[in-house]
Amino acid sequence: MQNLADHIDSGRLHAKILLVISSKPDAYGLTRAQSMNLPTTVVRRKDFPSDEQFSDCVFQLIREANAQLVCLAGYLTRLRLPPDYAQRVINIHPALLPSFGGQGMYGRHVHEAVLAAGCKVSGCTVHFCDQEYDTGPIIVQRTCPVLEDDTPDTLAERVFEQECVAYPHAISLIAAGRVKIIGRRTVISPG
């Protein structure tokens, strides 16, 4: 969220953050958003009896904010996407999907798995969300090397550098109308 806000403030990303929603009241992103005078709210999953009711509440807030695109960033609570937001929710994952994705694959777990598999490259993936974890059509991927002496933390730092480039780039492509989904793939038209 901070990276996107910085890109917006500098004029490199033509977008506006209308609302920051967290499922955790102590999320640091809320503190950052509040310091930038962005509207924030907390919707806790445990306050709802089902994923569907939780998701309905979240998307009602999104509709009220009139958000055209939902950008997940460190949001680890499952959301059920309503039909009116199909192909309008994106996420960033700290690996090259479809590898090292799915339930439980987030943060340090991903980098540990990449290292355990002996990969020579890693990176990040910006993708459209669907009703499963990390399976939506891929928009942008960026890579970085996996070094012989890497730890999960050192690899995470290099992957994060790529995330800071990939996410605003993907949003720019979508905002410019250059991303078309065909089946399970995206096609990026020339700029």
The residue from 93, 109, 111, 127 that is catalytic is: 93
Residue pair 74/29 in contact (Cβ under 8 Å)? The answer is yes
- 29-36 contacts, C-beta under 8 A, 24 or more apart: 29/1, 29/2, 29/73, 29/74, 32/1, 32/2, 32/5, 33/1, 33/5, 36/5
Whole-number pLDDT of residue 103: 92
**Euclidean distance between CA atoms 146 and 190, whole angstroms:** 31
Give residue-wise pLDDT tens across range 109-153: 999 999 999 999 999 999 999 999 999 999 999 999 999 999 999
Q: Which domain holds residue 62?
A: 1-69
Q: Verify that 128 and 50 share a domain, yes or no.
A: no
Q: Is there a domain that residue 14 lies in?
A: yes
Indicate the pTM of the whole model. Answer: 0.95
Q: Is there a domain that residue 17 lies in?
A: yes
Q: Is there a domain that residue 76 lies in?
A: no
Backbone angles phi, psi at 114, to 5 degrees: -60, -45
Whole-number pLDDT of residue 101: 97
Q: Is there a domain that residue 75 lies in?
A: no
Q: Which of 22, 43, 69 is the last residue of a domain?
A: 69
Give residue-wise pLDDT tens across range 6-61: 999 999 999 999 999 999 999 999 999 999 999 999 999 999 999 999 999 999 99
Q: Verify that 103 and 182 share a domain, yes or no.
A: yes
What total number of domains does the chain contain? 2
Q: How confident is the model at residue 75 (pLDDT cuts 50, 70, 90)?
A: confident
Question: For the domain that residue 27 is a member of, what is the CATH number?
Answer: 3.40.50.170
Q: Provide mean pLDDT across the span 61-88.
A: 95
182 pLDDT exceeds 80? Answer: yes
Give residue-wise pLDDT tens across range 149-163: 999 999 999 999 999
- Alpha-carbon distances, residue 10 vs 3, 5, 19, 43, 69 (angstroms): 11, 9, 19, 30, 20
Q: Verify that 103 and 160 share a domain, yes or no.
A: yes
Quickly list DSSP for 21-79. EESSTT-HHHHHHHHTT--EEE--GGGSSSHHHHHHHHHHHHHHTT-S-EE-SS--S--
Give residue-wise pLDDT tens across range 81-109: 999 999 999 999 999 999 999 999 999 99
DSSP reduced 3-state for 182: strand
Whole-number pLDDT of residue 115: 98
Residue pair 126/139 in contact (Cβ under 8 Å)? The answer is yes
Q: Verify that 96 and 163 share a domain, yes or no.
A: yes
Q: Verify that 34 and 122 share a domain, yes or no.
A: no
Q: Is there a domain that residue 79 lies in?
A: no
Q: Verify that 1 and 52 share a domain, yes or no.
A: yes
Q: Is there a domain that residue 77 lies in?
A: no
Active site residue 93: yes
Q: Verify that 190 and 126 share a domain, yes or no.
A: yes
Q: Verify that 62 and 107 share a domain, yes or no.
A: no
**Euclidean distance between CA atoms 158 and 162, whole angstroms:** 7
Q: Verify that 113 and 176 share a domain, yes or no.
A: yes
